[in-house]
Amino acid sequence: MLGPKGTGVLWTRKEIEPLLVGGGMVEDVSAEGFKIKKGHEGFEAGTPHISGGIGLGRAADYLVEADMNEVKAHEDKLAGRLLDGLCEIRGVDVYGSSNTNDRSGIVSFTVRGLAPHDVALMLDHASNIMVRSGHHCCNPSDEAPGPEGRNGQSLPLSVQYERGDRSTSWNSRGHSKDDRLAKKNVQKTTFRAKVRPRKLN
């Protein structure tokens, strides 16, 4: 949601027990026990993340003002372009649907013969591209046959394409039938995107 790290929203219709107990979430305390406050306050033990809550609220306002339909259309455009480019690189496997209507603005992929952490380091050093690498909090998916871990590229609203030579591209040169050369192909890949956060009036 573009908010500060360590913030989030819990929405539930069922009554659940608080995970943590501490000051701020109790209505009364005695030698025999304590009484938990009703509503959201019962889940806010200890000193709240005040600055994070303010930042998360502003992020929510930003997304409402930006129009979520516009956000989705922008992510679809970025994801479609990235998917098309990655699928052209021999030795790169892309996971998930190729239809942007069936996915979010996150693209997961692997490069045959290379560990995800090596790919992430290579893209960082070669092209200043930041991607996630590892299990992505989804370890059961790695129990199936295939590589252990993946790379993930997120495409937030703040990423804008530039025209001409600075346009985003995932082009590999010197395609080879040998998948072991995928490393060379990815090294020659560029993903140039200029981050220009929108200014809201």
Catalytically annotated residues: 137
**Spatial CA neighbour of 151 closest among 127, 134, 175:** 134
| Spatial distance between the Cα atoms of 198 and 201, rounded to a whole number of angstroms | 10
Task: Give the long-range contacts of residues 161-167, CB within 8 A, separation 24 or more.
Answer: 161/78, 161/81, 161/193, 161/194, 162/192, 162/193, 162/194, 166/192, 166/194, 167/192
Query: Mind spelling out the 3-state secondary structure of 1-27?
Result: CCCCCCCCCCCCCCCCCCCCCCCCCEE
